[in-house]
Amino acid sequence: MRNAVAAIFTHDKEIFSITRQMYLKAFPGYTAFPGGKVDEGDEAFAPDHPLMRDFPSVEIGALVREVQEELGFDLAAACAKGLVKQVTKFGTAVTPAIQAIRFNAHFYKIELTIKPEFVPDKGEIFDCAWALSTAFWEKYTGGEALMVKPTMLTAQRLAADISLSSIHPFNEEPENSTIPMLEHLCGLYHLAVPSNTLPLAVTTNSLLIGDKGAFRFLTDPSPASEEVLQRLINTLKGNLPDAILLTHHHPDHHEHAPQLARHLNVPILCTIITERRIKQRWGNDYFENIEIRHIKQDQVLTKWLGHDVICHELPGHDDGMVGIAPENMAWFYVADLVEAGTTVVIPEGEGDMAVYFASLERVIDMKPRVIIPSHGLPSGGTHLIEKTLKHRQRREQQIGDAYERGLRDSELTAALYPGLKPILIPYAEQNIRQHLRKLGHLEAFSE
């Protein structure tokens, strides 16, 4: 377990926050507080000042260093000049167990006597601003800000009382019998359900969508086992959906979904293509005693913060796949259209690379403020989609060039994916063949 620090700067009734750059690997586009990882030797940056002496020097040193790097602000000098009224340890949060790398994140509240001119590091910070504590909270409740739970909780509590010096407990560890239910965006509940998915992912996101009193549905529940299914059932108590929505037919999006639908006595929503493909692979009785309701492009499914939530067909990875987005494009759940840190496979017989490119371009053109993939955390802006499209365009150029040089079959794969793990080679070969089909070279690989 590593350590991190964050600085909650306040002045009078205002709070300072940042929006992280959209291309960062960790929490891109999230509204947050300045800070970062605690490094070995950070205690050397800790000032010998009465306001700081009660806290671990390595944490204070990291805070001083990070604030200087991100905002160009000398916190130690500010203390010496009497510009800091009070420093309190607001709380310590532990990152959820679903994260590959976990941190103890130590939040410090720093009350300033003036409002300084911060100089943000544009490599780390997309935007930053001072705002009344009430307005900062309203930014979240209006669905305009991505936040991790500690940031959201800080915004909520300081909106009620800006003089608050700490929160305890700062975060809650879920019981082993449940699955963490997070709310990165207000009113949109995110459950990372352990699933039998492809590496490098280990979970599939289930989103609980729908305002209180509106039709509510749970997307893509696919527990990896009966034990995980029971944990999901336990988690949904008190937050029962009115339906289950399947974005497409791949098993890591619907495994155990029929059992859950029968347990909850709710219908399943999916496209005609998805129903047909599931039944072809798993049998006509897969959905026995379950009502199937077909969904399609532009269909209004529910409400989110008063906005219509609309179905969008996103073929390419799978010809029956859909995504979900509110009419104001505050977010877009794109299912398996993209995945951070890895490449989406375009399966033969159900996917099409040219159509996949078109779906990526269409989502980019709609300019959603947040992208939510099926695997991994939400991210701000369309950077993840744009990066995926550029990667596929570069890869297609490489494939075309290698083909023109006479490379075929395994030689082509080895040239493009040197050192690839054997388990991933069949997926890479599928993508190569799909690119070759798009380029008109169907004979390049043995069918």
pTM confidence score: 0.95
Residue 1 binned pLDDT confidence (cut-offs 50, 70, 90): confident
Give the tens place of pLDDT for each residue, 108-166: 999 999 999 999 999 999 999 999 999 999 999 999 999 999 999 999 999 999 999 99
The domain covering 209-381 belongs, at the CATH homologous superfamily level, to Ribonuclease Z/Hydroxyacylglutathione hydrolase-like (3.60.15.10)
Instruction: State the first-to-last Cα distance of the chain, in angstroms, to the nearest integer.
Output: 48
- Please report the pLDDT score of residue 199 as a whole number: 80
Distances (CA, A) of 84 to 76, 231, 274, 369, 425: 9, 47, 59, 35, 57
| Residue in the block written with tokens 């990152």 | 95
Q: Please tell me the distance from the alpha carbon of residue 193 to that of residue 234, in angstroms, as a whole number.
A: 13
So what's the pLDDT on residue 416? 94
Mean pLDDT of 391-404: 96
Residue 447's pLDDT is 43
pLDDT digits (tens, 9 = 90+) for 242-291: 999 999 999 999 999 999 999 999 999 999 999 999 999 999 999 999 99
pLDDT of residue 174: 64
Do residues 415 and 407 touch, judged by C-beta distance below 8 A?
Answer: yes
CA angle 23/154/130 to nearest 5° reads 65
- Cα–Cα dist 390/278, whole Å: 32
Sort residue 381 into left (φ over 0), alpha (ψ -120 to 50) or beta.
left
Position 274 scores a pLDDT of 98
Q: Where are the domains of the chain?
A: 2-160, 209-381, 394-444
- Hey, how many other C-beta atoms are within 10 angstroms of the C-beta on 124? 16
pLDDT tens figures, 308-324: 999 999 999 999 999 99
Alpha helices in 191-320 (DSSP H): 226-236, 257-264, 272-282
Distance CA 129, CA 144 (A): 14
- Residue 215: its pLDDT value, please? 98
- Look up residue 4 and give its two tokens: 């991190």
Per-residue confidence band for 97, with pLDDT thresholds at 50, 70 and 90: low
> Is the model's pLDDT at 370 over the cut of 70?
yes
Q: What is the mean pLDDT of residues 28-46?
A: 97
For the segment 337-357, the average pLDDT, to the nearest whole number, is 94
Instruction: Supply the mean pLDDT for the chain.
Output: 95
* Residue range 194-204, pLDDT digits in tens: 999 988 789 99
Concatenate the DSSP letters of all residues of 369-381 into one string.
SEEEESSS--EET
Long-range CB contacts (< 8 A, 24+ apart) of 202-205? 203/98, 203/375, 204/252, 204/253, 204/374, 204/375, 205/333, 205/372, 205/373, 205/374, 205/375, 205/376
Please say whether the beta carbons of 219 and 205 come within 8 A. Answer: yes
- Per-residue pLDDT band for 99 (boundaries 50, 70, 90) equals low
The confidence band for 39, taking pLDDT boundaries of 50, 70 and 90, is very high
Q: In the prediction, which pLDDT does 234 show?
A: 96
Contact indicator for 59, 5 with CB cutoff of 8 Å = yes
The arithmetic mean of pLDDT across residues 226-239, rounded, is 96
Q: What fold characterizes domain 2-160?
A: Nucleoside Triphosphate Pyrophosphohydrolase (3.90.79)
What is the distance of C-alpha 303 from the center of its chain?
21
pLDDT of residue 98: 62
433 SS3 class = helix
Mean pLDDT of 429-441: 95
SS3 per residue for 220-257: CCCCCCHHHHHHHHHHHCCCCCCEEECCCCCHHHCCCH
Confidence of residue 100 (pLDDT cuts 50, 70, 90): low
Residue with tokens 């791949």: 250
Interstrand relation of 370-373 and 379-380 (parallel, antiparallel or unpaired): antiparallel
How far from chain centre, in Å, is Cα 301? 22
- Is the N-terminal amide bond of 169 cis, ω within 30° of 0? yes
Q: If we measure between CA atoms, which residue out of 162, 140, 160 comes closest to residue 149?
A: 140
Confidence of residue 78 (pLDDT cuts 50, 70, 90): very high
Q: Peptide bond before 416: cis, by omega within 30 degrees of 0? A: no
Q: C-alpha dihedral over 241, 245, 246, 252, to 10 degrees?
A: -20
